[in-house]
Amino acid sequence: MPLFIEDKQVGPIDSIEDLYRKYPSLKESAKAFLSKPVVSVDPKSLLYVQQREVAATTKGDKHVSVIGTEDATTCHMVVLRHTGTGAVALAHCDGFNTPRQVSLIVKAVTSLSGHFHEGRLELHVVGGFEDDKKLSEKISHDLLTMFQNQDLNIYLETFCTTEMNDVLVDGIHKPIIYGIGVKVETGEVFPASFTFKGPAENLRSARTFTKGEMVEIYEPNQGIVKVGPCSWPPQPDLIKWMTMTDKEILEALSTSPKAEPSDFVRSIKATMSFILDHPNPDSLFPGDQPQRYRKTDCGDWDRIVQP
């Protein structure tokens, strides 16, 4: 089924530049999005999504009022919401098996929407910039193409990527917006930053670092974040990586070294250290069961200990 912009069916997408030219309203909505202030989100009611993760919930969620993600350079942040049921999903997409990622996003929303009759699916895509390798443009193009291939009508409301999310800083191209949030109750999407990126931040990062596929992390009916089980082979080469300079790590492990946020290397080192500390990840999942976390009344995520 088709993708719609301005209630018009979109044909084959030749390039992102051409798409912006054909649909000027996309540029206007992107400018409007960029004009919004960046909100520092209170962790108390936050569900944070890491790279190669998706989470979905509904307006009735008593634990989560905002879903958010950050640290996107060439990555794209995707929100899909059904206006009739209020079911909403947010994903952090990096171009790693985009067909599977888009299918997971759509399934996450439709599975919470039942056999809906009123309302429609609205799509918001933010992220990427004018990077030298043109990775952002490829991810933008692949995402839209995959949404076009879904069996449902999808309406593109916000598309703030590549040229529209680009700024020159001392001659270096960088994204304007690195993070977004979506309010579960209203569906409002906004620029955001986050001081908390858990629970199980290093474990979740390790799963992605070792080439784990995108996964859905949240069980909205129970208000539980589920991590794993996942595995990785021994990584002895990481010992060498840990001795390298920050510049060497940045150049080798980033898709856009000059545009990364300031804590990129620190985060990568924490992830590598976690993997080295857990060469046998099976020990993290007793009985081959996932780690589960539930929010407390104070807003913290407490691990649920299996009996």
Cβ neighbourhood burial of 244 (10 Å; 0-12, 13-18, 19+): middle
Amino acid 50: pLDDT: 98
Q: What is the pLDDT of residue 96?
A: 93
Q: Which alpha helices (DSSP H) does 114-200 contain, by range?
A: 135-148
Are the C-beta atoms of residues 195 and 43 closer than 8 Å to each other?
yes
Residue found under tokens 């996309």: 26
Q: Tell me the per-residue pLDDT of 257-271, one tens digit each, with 9 for 90 and over.
A: 999 988 999 999 999
Instruction: Tell which phi-psi region holds residue 7, choosing left (phi > 0), alpha (psi between -120 and 50) or beta.
Output: left
CB-based contact 110:101 (threshold 8 Å): no
| CA distance linking residue 56 with residue 47, whole number of Å | 10
Could you list the pLDDT tens digit for every one of the 307 residues in the chain? Answer: 589 998 899 989 999 999 999 999 999 999 999 999 999 999 999 999 999 999 999 998 999 999 999 999 999 999 999 999 999 999 999 999 999 999 999 999 999 987 777 899 999 999 999 999 999 999 999 999 999 999 899 999 999 999 999 999 999 999 999 999 999 999 999 999 999 999 999 999 999 999 999 999 999 999 999 999 999 998 889 999 999 999 999 999 998 999 998 899 999 999 999 999 999 999 999 999 999 999 988 889 999 987 6
Q: Are 261 and 174 in contact (CB under 8 A)?
A: no
Residue 307 pLDDT: 63
Instruction: Say whether 276 sits in a helix, a strand or coil.
Output: helix
CA distance 217 to 179: 19
For residue 20 the two structure tokens come to 């912006």
Segments in the chain forming alpha helices (H): 16-22, 24-34, 98-113, 135-148, 201-209, 237-241, 246-253, 264-277
Angle at 43 between CA 38 and CA 46, to 5 degrees: 85
Q: What is the DSSP letter of 74?
A: S
| pTM of the shown model | 0.95
Structural domains of the chain in order of their starting residue, each with its CATH number: 3-200+212-228 (3.30.1330.200)
- Nearest 5°: the CA angle 100, 144, 72 is 75
